[in-house]
């Protein structure tokens, strides 16, 4: 938890940027514009939240870039459930395995089936996200385990 990135985020983003910006905006609203303290504070927080939404989004997108939830394929129309997706992933894997086994060195021979499998897996993730399942928590858990096993560069 107390990594270099954590200290930069806490002291740089929160204390310096939010703290100083918050104090300056509060001073501007309350002292210079004469807005009452509580409304000035609420307006201050609203404005800073609107700004720092994008700052935090950038920070965390960059920090957790390896696990973005940007999908490569468009969402397929229709209602799907995990059972349907399990069957679809199984079918796509079978097609991929058959194509791969015929000519593993000829990538073009099985690339389409591989991408179809990837699409089915991606759709499964979408279905789970749409059902409110916390996919990111599992991603982080897997990454943490693999980092502890020194599997990443």
- From the list 153, 125, 127, the residue with the least C-alpha distance to 139 is 125
% of the chain at pLDDT higher than 90: 54
| Rounded Cα distance, 153 and 147, in Å | 9
Banded pLDDT at 82 (limits 50, 70, 90): very high
Banded pLDDT at 61 (limits 50, 70, 90): low
Banded pLDDT at 3 (limits 50, 70, 90): confident
pLDDT at 13 (0 to 100): 78
Asked whether residue 63 carries a pLDDT value surpassing 60, the answer given is no
Asked whether residue 79 carries a pLDDT value surpassing 70, the answer given is yes
| Rounded Cα distance, 77 and 114, in Å | 21
Q: What tens digit of pLDDT does each residue of 117-143 get? A: 999 999 999 999 889 898 888 989 999
> Is this structure's pTM higher than 0.75?
no
Residue 130, Cβ density class (10 Å: 0-12 exposed, 13-18 middle, ≥19 buried): exposed
- From the list 71, 152, 84, 64, the residue with the least C-alpha distance to 118 is 71
Sorted by sequence, the CB contacts under 8 Å of residue 37 that are 6+ apart come out as 30
Banded pLDDT at 67 (limits 50, 70, 90): very low
| Rounded Cα distance, 66 and 13, in Å | 22
- From the list 87, 90, 75, 78, the residue with the least C-alpha distance to 125 is 75
Asked whether residue 26 carries a pLDDT value surpassing 60, the answer given is yes
């Amino acid at each position: 938890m107390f990594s270099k990135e954590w200290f930069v985020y806490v002291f740089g983003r929160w204390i310096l940027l939010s703290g100083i910006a918050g104090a300056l905006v509060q001073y501007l609203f309350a002292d210079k514009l004469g807005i009452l303290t509580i409304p000035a504070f609420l307006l201050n927080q609203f404005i800073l939240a609107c700004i720092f939404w994008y700052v935090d989004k950038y920070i965390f997108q960059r920090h957790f870039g390896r696990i973005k939830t940007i999908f490569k394929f468009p969402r397929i129309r229709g209602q799907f459930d995990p059972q349907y997706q399990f069957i679809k992933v199984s079918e796509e894997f079978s097609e991929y395995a058959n194509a791969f086994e015929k000519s593993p060195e000829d990538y073009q021979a099985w690339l389409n089936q591989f991408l179809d499998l990837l699409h089915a897996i991606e759709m499964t993730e979408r279905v789970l996200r749409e059902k409110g399942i916390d996919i990111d928590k599992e991603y982080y858990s897997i990454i943490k385990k693999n980092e502890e096993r020194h599997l990443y560069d």
